[in-house]
A and B are shown apart, each in its own frame.
Chain A
């Protein structure tokens, strides 16, 4: 099992310096993380830009929704071809409306699923975490093997972390 440690900072510059030191000490990107209570501009702490494929999700959802819309409109009307009001069984305007709504619904639902997936949620084990993060503190966590955790703690302490806590991953 890996050990996890969190250092809390109030100052953004100090947190950025701490992250630099962690990186210089040889910890990899998978081992450290920065936790904040609000969305800072990307790269504020010198962290790497997270890569994602979120934009593919709505496209895939839209295609699924479009197919569903087509089946609901064309499929059902062909299966039960009842002429009403002298209108064609497969009329473009009503089909377009329902297919449009289906496409948008598919895109929206898949966007939500995509966001949850790309955010790496749900997360069952919180690891090293502190409730003060949502009150403005900046947390730097290091999750690593037992033998490397002491060094991380020392770095965070030396740079001036307000508080340091340990946890299990």
Chain B
């Protein structure tokens, strides 16, 4: 972090609170557009509820399509918050400070978007209560041997944990907004911050909770995508999914797409609120770019292992599935596009420092990664179901309907809408964390060079 700009606490407040205290011109149109997409998606959903799942492209044997692809995709994005926030917090990486909050908030909204899609997918969402063990009067309980009960327990735990993590770390920043505003607004923020004053005891608890929750949420983060992968791996009928490597493969894929999404969000924050450029520096993008090279390459190793060991067994179902993925149109085209966008275009580009420090290039490459990662989930789910399996008996194809496309678009609009609302009412940059970084930072002279140094407790 050589490009550090030393700011006093008031300047940091001004920068971080400017999205809350002043409304940029683009904010209302952006909110309206994303809200429009949400309305369109929900209309499509109600149309589907009224007419039945027949309005989607789902049919035997492809019972899982865009909804489940999208579910896995958003669960993947949600791993961004914990990867960036918890791991970097535990390792005391200084460059984490400006991006932890944005990553955590992205996690919360991604999880909410992820939870949308299985609800839509089941066709009759009002029966979702079947997965929850609440029915004391009838004595009929959910079957806990089903992965569809494991999933809500894991995703629910992760959502509650991430939301509480964001809320508890917001308390000192809410107090800053309380002190900067007047009237009713100040009173509301005063209630929200629970009467925060900034005593040594309160600060000590904040410091400990950051570390403690990071340590507690990390195992949940690992379990969530493992369990999502077991939704596939334990299904008897689809041989292509019987893979012991699925859990770590899904986790590293989730980290790849999640960290890329955080980088995209960082670029948007730097573009949208110019003041942020004093806190979020190209150095931060450089650091996340280097991290992405490692994550992407590890993910690519798992992809290679998944494919090569599946083929090495010479089992017929695996060979047929891979033939479908690699050589049959349109999957073959999508597979090439997936490889190019998820790895072969972005990673060589990230090797260059100029790319890692360029806002437009980082934006494009990280968006490409997420296009690729969405396709990856599509290529895992749809070709595997398209081929004849022991319980489906016939081959089939899948073409998503406009209803599914609108509902999937709604989830993207929902996340954007949520982030826009959050940015208007709550700080996306963890103000007290930045201030702490400024206090702990000093300059030391090495030879003829003066470089920044960080003090650690």
Q: Which residues of A contact B (CB under 8 A)?
A: 33-42, 47, 50, 52, 54-55, 58, 72-73, 76-77, 79-80, 82, 84-85, 87, 91, 94-95, 97-98, 100-102, 104-105, 107-109, 111-112, 115-116, 118-127, 129, 131-136, 139
Contact = CB atoms under 8 A, between A and B. Distances in A.
B429 interface: no
A41 B10 CA distance: 20
A136 B436 CA distance: 11
Interface string B105-148: 00000000000000000000000000001000001111111100
Q: Is the interface of B mostly helix, strand, loop or mixed?
A: helix
Given A80-B140, A123-B197, 11 more contacts: A37-B176, A39-B207, A39-B432, A40-B439, A41-B457, A97-B153, A97-B223, A101-B154, A112-B168, A121-B196, A126-B195
B227 interface: yes
B272 interface: no
B213 interface: yes
Listed from nearest, the 7 A-B pairs whose CB atoms lie closest are A123-B195, A136-B9, A76-B141, A131-B179, A38-B435, A122-B194, A39-B203
A104 B161 CA distance: 9
Interface residues of B, number: 61
Nearest to A121: B194
5 contacts: A42-B457, A101-B153, A115-B206, A126-B195, A131-B180
Contacts of B219: 104
Given A39-B436, A52-B201, A135-B13, A108 B144 contact: no
Nearest to A137: B9
Interface of B: 8-10, 13, 133, 139-146, 149-150, 153-154, 156-157, 160-161, 164, 167-168, 171, 175-176, 179-180, 194-209, 212-213, 216-217, 219-220, 223, 227, 236, 432, 435-436, 439-440, 455, 457
Nearest to B224: A101
A65 to B, nearest CB: 9
Contacts of B144: 72-73, 76-77, 94-95, 98
Contacts of B439: 38, 40
A42 B144 CA distance: 48
A50 B157 contact: no
A41 B175 CA distance: 20
Q: Which of A77, A105, A109, A134 has the most CB of B within 10 A?
A: A134
Given A94-B144, A119-B205, A37 B199 contact: no
A132 B203 CA distance: 17
A102 B157 CA distance: 8
Contacts of A136: 8-10
A40 B8 CA distance: 14
A87 B153 contact: no
A127 B198 CA distance: 13
A121 to B, nearest CB: 4
B149 A98 contact: yes
A152 B91 CA distance: 43
Nearest to A39: B203
B164 A79 contact: no
B195 A124 contact: yes
A37 B143 CA distance: 51
Contacts of B145: 84-85, 87, 91, 94
A54 B205 contact: yes
Nearest to B153: A101
B151 to A, nearest CB: 10
Contacts of B149: 94, 98
Contact of B212 (A58, A95, A135, A139): A58
Nearest to A51: B201
